Amino acid sequence: MADYFYKDGKKYYKNQSHSDRQKNNCFVETHTIGGSGENLNGNIPTSIDLLNTTPQTVFEDFTNNHNKTLIQLFVVGMSAPV
């Protein structure tokens, strides 16, 4: 018998020894933010114009877990990522 089950599309593990079972259930989700463009497909970047005179937040995560996020920034006129 499997030690996990699926509920609402999420994978839950049955045999947990912790007292707070609901808190210890885990799942994985992938969120992709992509830009748009005419006659483009695949990995389309999102353009964000930043001013060089003011600090600006490009991405902020408000969750209480250890998320892993990959953000690749380019400066116009440069060929390599920043």
What average pLDDT values come out for the chain (82 residues) when binned by 10 residues?
76 66 64 73 75 80 72 70 58
Task: Write out the H or E segment, with its range, that includes residue 23.
Answer: helix 21-24
- What is the pTM assigned to this prediction? 0.36
8 Ramachandran zone, left/alpha/beta (phi>0; psi -120 to 50): left
Q: Side chain identity at 47, as an amino acid letter? A: S
Domain borders along the chain are 29-81
Taking alpha carbons only, the member of 27, 35, 28, 30 closest to residue 72 is 35
